[in-house]
Structure 1
Amino acid sequence: MKKAYYITQIGALERRGNTLFFVNENEKRPIPINSTSEVHCFKPVSLTSGAIKLLSEKNVPVHFYNKYGYYRGSYMPAEGQISGTVVIKQAEHHLDQDKRLHIASQFVEGIKASMIALLKSQRADYRPIADIPVEGSSPAELMGVESNLWREFYGLYSTLLKHFDFSERNRRPPRDEVNAMISYGNSVLYGVALSEIRKTYLHPAISFLHEPLERRYSLALDMADIFKPVTVFRVILRLVNRRQIREEHFDREIGVMLNRKGLKVFLSELNSELGKKVLHPRFRRNVSIRYLIRLEGYSLVKHLLGDGEYKSLRAWW
């Protein structure tokens, strides 16, 4: 299984022969391009033409984030998995209200199930989440249900944190340490979901729960949300309660952000979580959580082609 590569310093990606290097005034570090799924840049990083060519040959995207961890954009190699039939079917299901509602409601059911799975793993009260019905006659109404789920989840989640206060979700910029980590984690998960969607035949800009917008791959938002509670929020809880992340891991300017040391701790733990293997109940084999995102895409493709009814992932770990 290929792994993500994270860059937390200013520099450049360059090609020397058939090797990709990260270069700045202090170091020249090779990047194992053949075992890299994508590159995440949290500081300004330039790409030489040689690096772009090599990244394209190896089909490795590069995702860029600002200092608060917000996604800014990507270098995306030419699509490697293309199917006109799937894209047409995907557009048809987006345009048909009933078909879109089925898929959108499944996304919300998956989000709800992941919230419950995390709370159960902590022996916390999950009934306020379980009691919210996933109902709606439009994607906008389902987005309202999702908002209610997150509101309840944040309240329950805050009681599990031992060393940082967390009362509400805030951003642009985050006003506290937990919100800073949520912003970084959500953005990375979005980038990972985008990378995995590209390995299926799905078009990442045709979504079902979120509205498609220019300059945003909204299907990645749809699919990433299913996995946030059991990846991003699980990692934050572990790091905070074990005191692996502390006050000195943050900078406070306009808002709060992880400093370089804190970012390395956080990204290492998140990367490990995404690579963690769980026994898949249907396939009866161990698969990484990252690969589950791709399997979610494959399940959606089967639904679009009429080979089975899409049911979103119900997290069990």
Structure 2
Amino acid sequence: MKKSYYLFNPGRLSRKDNTLKFVPEDEEGNQGQPRYLPVEQITNLYVFGSLDANSALYNFLGKNGIGVHFFDFYEHYTGSFYPKEYLQAGQLHVQQSLHYADPQKRMALAQPLIDAASFNMLKTLKYYYNRGREIQDAVEAIEEYRQGIFVTTNVEELMGLEGNIRQAYYAAFTDICATFPLEKRIKRPPTDPMNTLISFCNMLCYTACLDMIYHTQLDPTISFLHEPGVRRFSLALDLAEIFKPLLVDRMIFSLVNKKIIQPKDFKTEVNACILKESGRKNILKAWDTKLSDTIKHRKLGRNVSYKHLIKLECYKLTKQLMDIEPYQGFKAWW
């Protein structure tokens, strides 16, 4: 079974016959024991340290369909290497562009995205509200904001409403997760443990969505909620909105409340809080487990993994774009 591999240490990655060879280096530049990674078992590489590689390696990775995601010192996602697209459909690409360019068609996709995302936020909060957390104000605020989603007339107005929903949502985090209070969402760089956890795990969700888009015929640069921009895969941002409350936030609450992630897993730099390697490893272990966990899909009548749920969402978008079936964002029922 293929899986993701995470490279925390700086080092050199090269091709060795038909596999990958990674030689780590310490701070003094001394080389450690080589590790051999079986290429047929790899879906993606996540690089958190300085990586020395050449074009021959990337040619090898491209031929084997392996993507590489890069993160900087503060765990911010900085970019990806992707193999040449192997699933291309000109008609779908045209329709995706036309749906973005037509305000009415764009809103027909953007509104269900926010509707599903806010529903999943509410579902997460209600789980803790029913267990005695004092978050009634946040729940009521989101319920009220949700009533305005399909009344909005343009994407800018919809994004403003989404901002209000998310502000109310984050206001409940401290009551759910008192160990790491969240006074304000700060991104670049995060200055406290909870902001660090949110930023790091959001990037994992973003790259998971990007991976699934790559395995469909959708263009990751053409989005409907977020504005397409230079050098970013904005459709992955759209899809991540739906799955962050289910995959990211629930995982964060569980890791912290079960004391799997503790204050000792963070260190403070100048105006920034970053995860130590121990914290990153615990999160990535939980993340891989989460993506492979399965649920009984109501419509399909069989168990599907959370990772496959993201791919199914891509197919649903495709059906709307090709005028097969109206799009409805995924809403959790548990």
- Contact 1:231/1:273 (8 A) holds in 2: yes
Q: Indicate which of 29, 32, 44 corresponds to 1:38.
A: 44
Report the alpha carbon displacement of residue 209 of structure 1 after superposing the two structures with TM: 0.4
Give the Cα–Cα distance (whole angstroms) in 2 for the partners of residues 35 and 302 of structure 1: 31
SS of the residue corresponding to residue 245 of structure 2 reads coil
Mean CA deviation greater in 253-262 or 48-57: 48-57
Give the Cα–Cα distance (whole angstroms) in 2 for the partners of residues 75 and 184 of structure 1: 19
Corresponding residue for 2:249?
233
Alignment of 1:85-100 (within 5 A): 85-100=91-106
Q: Indicate which of 131, 154, 177 corresponds to 1:138.
A: 154
Corresponding residue for 1:293?
310
Instruction: Say whether residues 1:284 and 2:284 are aligned partners.
Output: no
Mean CA deviation greater in 176-185 or 65-74: 65-74
Alignment of 1:1-317 (within 5 A): 2-24=2-24, 25-122=31-128, 123=130, 125=136, 126-132=139-145, 133=147, 134=149, 135-254=151-270, 255-317=272-334
- The verdict on how the C-alpha distance between 1:113 and 1:36 changes in structure 2, with shifts beyond 3 A counting, is farther
- Contact 1:276/1:289 (8 A) holds in 2: yes
Task: Report which structure shows greater RCO (CA 8 Å, sep ≥6).
Answer: 1
Q: Percentage identity across aligned positions?
A: 35
Report the alpha carbon displacement of residue 227 of structure 1 after superposing the two structures with TM: 0.5
TM-score by length of 1: 0.96
Give the Cα–Cα distance (whole angstroms) in 2 for the partners of residues 32 and 150 of structure 1: 41
SS of the residue corresponding to residue 230 of structure 1 reads helix
- Contact 1:111/1:227 (8 A) holds in 2: yes
Give the Cα–Cα distance (whole angstroms) in 2 for the partners of residues 137 and 27 of structure 1: 59
Corresponding residue for 2:27?
none
Give the Cα–Cα distance (whole angstroms) in 1 for the partners of residues 113 and 2 of structure 2: 26
Please say which structure displays the higher CA radius of gyration: 2
> Structure 1, residues 250-290: CA drift from partner, whole Å, max 9, x if none?
11102100011111111111221122111111101111111
SS of the residue corresponding to residue 98 of structure 2 reads helix
Give the Cα–Cα distance (whole angstroms) in 2 for the partners of residues 275 and 29 of structure 1: 25
Give the Cα–Cα distance (whole angstroms) in 2 for the partners of residues 316 and 274 of structure 1: 17
> Structure 1, residues 86-107: CA drift from partner, whole Å, max 9, x if none?
1000001000110000100111
Report the alpha carbon displacement of residue 36 of structure 1 after superposing the two structures with TM: 2.3
Report the alpha carbon displacement of residue 3 of structure 1 after superposing the two structures with TM: 2.4
Runs ≥4 residues deviating over 4 A: none
Report the alpha carbon displacement of residue 246 of structure 1 after superposing the two structures with TM: 1.1
Structure 2 residues not aligned, in runs of 5+: 25-30
Write the letter of the residue equivalent to 2:62.
Answer: S
SS of the residue corresponding to residue 78 of structure 1 reads coil
Q: CA RMSD in A?
A: 1.4
SS of the residue corresponding to residue 172 of structure 2 reads helix
Give the Cα–Cα distance (whole angstroms) in 1 for the partners of residues 33 and 156 of structure 2: 49
Give the Cα–Cα distance (whole angstroms) in 2 for the partners of residues 45 and 130 of structure 1: 46
Report the alpha carbon displacement of residue 49 of structure 1 after superposing the two structures with TM: 2.8
Report the alpha carbon displacement of residue 306 of structure 1 after superposing the two structures with TM: 1.1
Write the letter of the residue equivalent to 2:205.
Answer: L
Q: How many residues align?
A: 317
